[in-house]
A and B are shown apart, each in its own frame.
Chain A
Amino acid sequence: MAIDQTTDRRVYSADDPIIEIRNAAVTYDEGRSYVLDHVSLELERGEILGVVGESGSGKSMLASSLLDAVPSPGHLTGEITYRPDGKAPINILELEKADRRSLRWEDISMVFQGAMNSFNPTLDLRTHFEETLRAHDADIKKGLGRAEELLEDLYLEPDRILDSYPHELSGGMQQRALIALSLVLDPDVLVMDEPTAALDLLMQRSILLLLSDLQEKYNLTMVFITHDLPLVAALADRMAIMYAFRLVEIGDTRDIVENAAHPYTRALLNSTPNLDAPLSEMQPIDGQSPAPINMPTGCAYHPRCPLATEECRTEVPDYHEVETDHGSACYHWQASYDEVPLLHENSPGDTTGGVDE
Chain B
Amino acid sequence: MKHTESDTGSEREFSFGAAQSEVEVTTADRLREFYREFIYKPGLVAWEDRRTRIGAIIMGIYVFIGTIGAWLYREPSTNQSPRSLRPFETLEAPLGTTGSGQDVLAMVIHATPEMLIMILSGGIFATGLAVLIGTVAGYKGGTTDRVLTTFSDVMMSIPGLPLIMVLAVVVSPERAAVIGILITINYWAGLARSIRSQVLAIREHSYVEASRTMNVSTPRILLKDIIPNMMPYVLVNFANAARYVVFASVGLYYLGILPTSVANWGIQLDNAYSQAGALSGGGTMYQLVVPMIAIMFLALGLILLAQGMDRVFNPRVRTRLAGESGSETDDEDTAAPTEVMT
Interface residues in chain A, defined as those with a beta carbon under 8 Å from any beta carbon in chain B: 27-29, 32-33, 35, 55-56, 58-61, 64, 71, 73-74, 193, 291-293
Contacts and interface: CB of A to CB of B under 8 A. Distances in A.
9 contacts: A28-B4, A29-B1, A32-B1, A55-B330, A56-B327, A58-B327, A64-B326, A292-B1, A293-B5
Contacts of B4: 28
B326 to A, nearest CB: 5
Interface in B308-327: 321, 325-327
B2 interface: yes
Interface string B93-134: 000000000000000000000000000000000000000000
Given A29-B1, A35-B1, A55 B328 contact: yes
B79 to A, nearest CB: 66
Contact of B326 (A33, A71, A291): A71
B1 A56 contact: no
B325 A35 contact: yes
Contacts, number: 35
A104 to B, nearest CB: 17
A29 B2 contact: yes
Interface string B1-25: 1111100000000000000000000
B2 A60 contact: no
A292 to B, nearest CB: 5
B327 A55 contact: yes
A291 B327 CA distance: 13
B2 A33 contact: yes
A74 B326 CA distance: 11
B10 to A, nearest CB: 15
A149 B88 CA distance: 83
B7 to A, nearest CB: 12
Contacts of A28: 1, 4, 325
A226 to B, nearest CB: 12
Interface residues of B, number: 11
Given A29-B1, A60-B327, A293-B2, 6 more contacts: A27-B1, A28-B325, A32-B2, A59-B327, A292-B1, A293-B5
A74 B327 CA distance: 13
A25 to B, nearest CB: 13
B325 A71 contact: yes
A187 B321 CA distance: 32
A54 to B, nearest CB: 10
A29 B2 CA distance: 8
A277 B175 CA distance: 76
Task: Say what secondary structure dominates the interface of chain A.
Answer: loop
B26 to A, nearest CB: 36
Contacts of A58: 327
Nearest to B329: A55
A33 B5 CA distance: 12
B337 to A, nearest CB: 12
Contacts of A64: 326
Contacts of B2: 29, 32-33, 293
A157 B10 CA distance: 49
B3 to A, nearest CB: 8
B49 to A, nearest CB: 22
Contact of B328 (A33, A56, A73): A56
Contacts of A59: 327
Contacts of A55: 327-328, 330
A246 to B, nearest CB: 15
A59 B328 CA distance: 10
Contacts of B5: 291, 293
A61 B327 contact: yes
A33 B1 CA distance: 8
B247 to A, nearest CB: 35
Contacts of A60: 326-327
Nearest to B8: A291
B33 to A, nearest CB: 29
Given A29-B1, A33-B2, A293-B1, A74 B328 contact: no
Contacts of A35: 1, 325
Nearest to B5: A293
Contacts of A291: 5
Contacts of B3: 29
A58 to B, nearest CB: 7
A28 B323 CA distance: 12
Q: In this complex, which of B3, B4, B325 has the most chain A Cβ atoms within 10 angstroms of its Cβ?
A: B325
Contact of B325 (A32, A74, A193, A293): A74
A151 B4 CA distance: 40
Contacts of A193: 327
Contacts of B328: 55-56
B323 to A, nearest CB: 10
Contacts of B1: 27-29, 32-33, 35, 292-293
Q: In this complex, which of B2, B5, B327 has the most chain A Cβ atoms within 10 angstroms of its Cβ?
A: B327
B219 to A, nearest CB: 38
A292 B5 CA distance: 9
Q: In this complex, which of B1, B3, B328, B330 has the most chain A Cβ atoms within 10 angstroms of its Cβ?
A: B1
Nearest to B321: A73
A76 to B, nearest CB: 12
A337 B330 CA distance: 33
A28 B330 CA distance: 20
Nearest to B333: A117
Nearest to B6: A293
Nearest to A33: B1
A29 to B, nearest CB: 5
Q: In this complex, which of B4, B5, B326, B328 has the most chain A Cβ atoms within 10 angstroms of its Cβ?
A: B326
B5 to A, nearest CB: 6
A164 B325 CA distance: 31
10 smallest CB-CB distances across A and B, nearest first, come from: A60-B327, A28-B1, A56-B328, A29-B1, A71-B326, A292-B1, A33-B1, A293-B5, A293-B2, A60-B326
A199 B317 CA distance: 29
A55 B3 CA distance: 20
A71 B2 CA distance: 17
Nearest to A58: B327
A291 B9 CA distance: 12
A322 to B, nearest CB: 28
Interface in B280-326: 321, 325-326
A64 B325 CA distance: 12
